[in-house]
Amino acid sequence: MPLKIASERTPKAPLPMSGEEMRARGWDAVDIVLVTGDAYVDHPSFANGLIARLLEAAGFRVAVLAQPDWSSCEPWRQFGRPRLFFGISAGNMDSMINHYTASRKVRNDDAYSPQGTIGRRPDRATLGYCQRSREAFPGVPVVAGGVEASLRRIAHYDYWSDTVRRSILMDSKADLVVFGMGERTVLDVAHGLDAGRTVRDLRGLRGVAYRLGASEQIPEGPDTLLLPDYETVVKDPLAFCEMTRISHLETNPHNARRLVQRHGREAVVINPPALPLEQDEMDQVYALPYTRLPHPSYGDARIPAFEVVQHSVQIMRGCFGGCTFCSITAHEGRIIQSRSQESIITEIKMLSAQPGFKGTVSDIGGPTANMYQMRCTRPEVEAKCRRLSCVHPTVCKLLGTDHGPLRSVMREARSIPGVKRVLVASGVRMDLARRDPEYLQELAEHHVGGHLKVAPEHTDPEVLALMKKPAADDFLEFDKAFRAASNRVGKKQYTVPYFIASHPGSDIDEMIDLALFLKRNGYKPDQVQDFIPSPFDIAACMYHTGLDPMTKQPVKVAKGMRNRRTQRALLQFFKPENYFEVRQALEHAGRQELIGSGCDCLIPDRPPREALDKKRGEANRAFTEQTSGDHIRGGPAGQPRTGKQGRRQPRERGSVGYRPKRPGQ
């Protein structure tokens, strides 16, 4: 049913974060408590802030429990027993990706926490939050959502434990999981429970997944597909691939079928995704009375993720790129959902009137910068299509790629009084931008602050095919066209290309070729990405099984940490501290011709002083770790470390992200 809410743009006070704030509103209880692993920011770029305002506009009393102390259920009780349900989300990111690097090391900061402080949420936060909700008030429905729950709704490979884990429904015991962008589904759940229906009555909603007990009947029929069961996908890589293939082919909300996966005697049911929001519905969602600020209780504490989006405007959602390593298409959908130009311009005018605005809109975009208003030109074909990408291996001839509506928005945005610059910080899809020289010219002249982000990701044809990315020549042609457009307006501007190390299909040889590409074209990427297998992604299936789930063909996979470090070092071969790692890789690959002073040489014959200093420092640290005062811990070579009683001493383990104050794992 259409989304109908009472939108009003005048900012209203943020929703209560404590029992005191709730009572100050004259409330003795709330209808819904939203539990989130992020700080509470009343801004539409923060999912919790958006859903909270949406439910408020629908007439519900909503409280926000942001980053609660999960060591007990007492924080869950401060609002009293919620009348309808607990809404659980780990936050804007999967909590494991939020906590750990590609090397499985604890990150130094958390962009979604005040002051960037780590340890404000547990690992696998959805599980812990659901448990505390049930413990605090048994019988209150628990509805999980957000990226973490959405991407873990079926059996999935978990990179951090290197295991295949069960559906999050099995481990969290949530009554429902709302997957994808959940505005429509969350409202349907709230209205249904408010009308006296039970959680079981709501199992037929789109965008919902739920668990079936051992005694319950599994749905059957032509609209239901049975996935390989959990016990099989744990043991059989081909079954895991088949599960992944089917799941991704059933993501178009217009033709997706219900999926069922057995877990022992129980089962998980995944309904078809919710229908995408229409333009007027998108306008309603973004016209809610956000303050666009963190909750006042944080005072002057910085929230890094908020600072990035504070003066940005999201004009669309979704992505039809279908990159196999990216979760955007899986979560937001392949169908682009765009706001009207009037809605966007109104928001920019309000933004320009806010205190602290200095005239620069930091970004006007979305998951990509230039997919605004782009849809299939044949709705009857779109309703049947199961293609995973509209732009790979070639741009679909039925895809509307007109940049005219986007150019119109950009022109009006930069003409608003008080707005000096409107920047495009979202990544530009190069294969689309090259189709419209006028868009590229305006982009270079008005919307780039010296550097433009693009994502070629790799240069090897086989790796790019596995990624569903365009050929490397596409990037070179775009880069040439962008520099030419910049020169025409008297600006010296550059593209900032992003590349991924250790993606499935990429080994040392492919990374050496990529390093050569960078050297020959004068690129020195300062920021590079290490591939992290995200739950549900096609690339994660490749990493786990060593197979492409779509073709069942073998794929090279870099699993060892040493291999992964070497691939990253090759991406930044020009950094002196990477010298020895790059040299070892070149020698091992038989590419000694790339060592020396030739045009194609990646490193010189002799190590630079910085490389020697780094090696010396590593040796000193290794020695220091083996010594304590005047005593050597390890004793003579080959003998174990011993304590006072002659017993072998266990090696100490550092604390981990799940409970940072706990002494060990």
pLDDT digits over 372-431, tens only?
999 999 999 999 999 999 999 999 999 999 999 999 999 999 999 999 999 999 999 999
Contacts of 19 (CB under 8 A, 6+ apart): 78, 79, 80
The residue extents of the domains of the chain are 19-270, 311-447, 450-624
Q: Which of 161-175, 202-216, 615-629 is the least confident region?
A: 615-629
Q: Which residues pair with 224 in a beta bridge?
A: 258
Q: How far is CA 561 from the centre of its chain?
A: 22
Count helices and strands in the chain by DSSP H and E runs: 25, 24
More confident site: 112 or 664 = 112
CATH of 311-447, one of 3.40.50.2300, 3.90.800.10, 3.30.750.210, 3.40.50.1860: 3.30.750.210
Report the DSSP pairing between strands 208-212 and 176-178.
antiparallel
The answer to whether residue 634 scores a pLDDT higher than 50 is: no
**Cis upstream peptide for 549 (omega within 30°):** no
- The pLDDT value recorded for residue 573 is 95
3-state secondary structure (DSSP) of residue 261: strand
Instruction: Judge contact between 423 and 361, C-beta under 8 A.
Output: yes
Give the mean pLDDT of 281-295: 95
Residue 518 banded pLDDT, cuts 50, 70, 90 = very high
Detail the DSSP E strand segments found in 296-420.
312-314, 316-317, 337-338, 360-361, 363-365
Radius of gyration (Cα) for the chain, nearest Å?
26
CATH code: domain 19-270 is 3.40.50.280
DSSP 290-304: ---EE-GGGTT---H
Q: Which of 81-90, 268-277, 393-402, 633-642 is the least confident region?
A: 633-642
- The pLDDT value recorded for residue 665 is 40
Residue 215 banded pLDDT, cuts 50, 70, 90 = very high
Instruction: Judge contact between 344 and 315, C-beta under 8 A.
Output: yes
Give the mean pLDDT of 530-543: 96
Q: Do domains 311-447 and 450-624 have the same CATH topology?
A: yes
Q: For the chain, how many residues are written?
A: 665
- The pLDDT value recorded for residue 648 is 41
- The pLDDT value recorded for residue 474 is 93
Amino acid occupying residue 542: M
Contacts of 383 (CB under 8 A, 6+ apart): 252, 254, 255
CA separation (Å) from 249 to 180, 225, 330, 550, 603?
A: 15, 11, 11, 10, 45
pTM for this one? 0.90
- The pLDDT value recorded for residue 654 is 40
Would you state the structure tokens that stand for residue 479, as one six-digit string? 């880069």
- The pLDDT value recorded for residue 622 is 73
- The pLDDT value recorded for residue 4 is 67
Burial of 173 (0-12, 13-18, 19+ CB in 10 A): middle
- Mean pLDDT (the chain, rounded): 92
Instruction: Judge contact between 561 and 599, C-beta under 8 A.
Output: no
Amino acid occupying residue 408: S
- The pLDDT value recorded for residue 661 is 47
Residue 636 banded pLDDT, cuts 50, 70, 90 = very low
CA separation (Å) from 515 to 196, 218, 511, 529, 569?
A: 62, 53, 6, 14, 10
CA separation (Å) from 662 to 97, 119, 547?
A: 21, 11, 39
Contacts of 559 (CB under 8 A, 6+ apart): 543
Residue 628 banded pLDDT, cuts 50, 70, 90 = low
Residue 8 banded pLDDT, cuts 50, 70, 90 = low
pLDDT for 438-467, tens place per residue?
999 999 999 998 899 999 999 999 999 999
- Nearest of 578, 574, 456 to residue 516 by alpha carbon: 574
DSSP 450-496: SEEEEEEE---HHHHHHHT---HHHHHHHHHHHHHHHHHTT---EEE
Residue 627 banded pLDDT, cuts 50, 70, 90 = low
- The pLDDT value recorded for residue 612 is 85
pLDDT for 137-194, tens place per residue?
999 999 999 999 999 999 999 999 999 999 999 999 999 999 999 999 999 999 999 9
- The pLDDT value recorded for residue 68 is 97
- The pLDDT value recorded for residue 276 is 95
Would you state the CATH architecture of domain 450-624? 2-Layer Sandwich (3.30)
Burial per residue of 46-64, b for 16 or more beta-carbon CB atoms within 10 angstroms, e otherwise:
bbbbbbbbbbbbbebbbbb
Q: Which of 34-48, 87-101, 404-418, 516-530 is the least confident region?
A: 516-530
pLDDT for 126-140, tens place per residue?
999 999 999 999 999
- The pLDDT value recorded for residue 620 is 77
Instruction: Judge contact between 212 and 261, C-beta under 8 A.
Output: no
